[in-house]
Amino acid sequence: MIRVKKIFTKNELCGLEVKGHANSDEHGKDLVCAGVSSIITGGFNALVKDEIEEITLEEGYAKVVVKSDANYSRIVLDVMLTQLLTIEESYPQNINIK
């Protein structure tokens, strides 16, 4: 299962941590994993470099935290979260967001 943890600072979303694999199909054919990977990778590419406090992207793990004054990057995080929530609605057995 993919687990997504929302990271907050002063009740505002400032980061996401994503761990695991969806295991909805065999490796290379897992559409849930592919969808989540696309959202994370595309979202990370859209972030403003100077607004990033911490970023990691590895096999089965991703984490990003943006600075408190990162207005544009916070919007990107909100879009990423909305996309992940959409996948969770269809595949709750493969992705969990907290």
Q: Which residues are catalytic?
A: 21, 33
The C-alpha atoms of residue 70 and residue 50 are separated, in whole angstroms, by 9
What is the DSSP code (8-state) at residue 98?
-
CA dihedral 32, 11, 69, 87 (to 10 degrees): 10
